[in-house]
Amino acid sequence: AMADAGIRVVYPDAPTVPYTLMRGHMMPVWFDRVAMAYNAPEDKEGMARSVEQVDVEIDRLVAEGVPAESIGVVGFSMGGCLALHVVYGRSRYAGKLALCGAMSTFLAEDSSVDALAARRFAGEAARRPP
């Protein structure tokens, strides 16, 4: 049904990297986390690597003729955090994409993403964390 409406969905895989929360075991995660806490530092290197991976996917779509203004990035949990970084952060496409969907997600306290921009379209039904 989505293909009939001209919608394509791309599901990139997270890289397999050592994940601190799983005692350093190799896991498919977008970036590392040292704690499940708001004040845990953001893995800036891992985030940059994953943003670049998504940018390469967007580059491919744009090269195929899909306008950046017609592309959205959506994610759940870590993927939602990554989507916020791509759409509002340091991606080559930040500010140029159609939408950001970030479900059950988070931003670290020291995140490079503008928290106000990321909250702009938040729903009103759920409580927002401070």
CATH for 82: 3.40.50.1820
Across the chain, which has 130 residues, the per-10-residue mean pLDDT values are 82 97 98 95 97 98 95 96 94 94 91 68 52
| pLDDT for the residue 2 | 78
| pLDDT for the residue 125 | 58
Q: Helix, strand, or coil here: 58?
A: helix
Domain, as residue range, for 40:
16-119
Tell me if 62 is assigned to some domain.
yes
HEC profile of 7-41: CCCCCCCCCEEEEHHHCCEEEECCCCCCCCCCCCC
Tell me if 83 is assigned to some domain.
yes
Q: What is the pTM of this model?
A: 0.86
| pLDDT for the residue 130 | 46
| pLDDT for the residue 118 | 57
Considering its fold, how many domains does the chain have in total? 1
| pLDDT for the residue 113 | 86
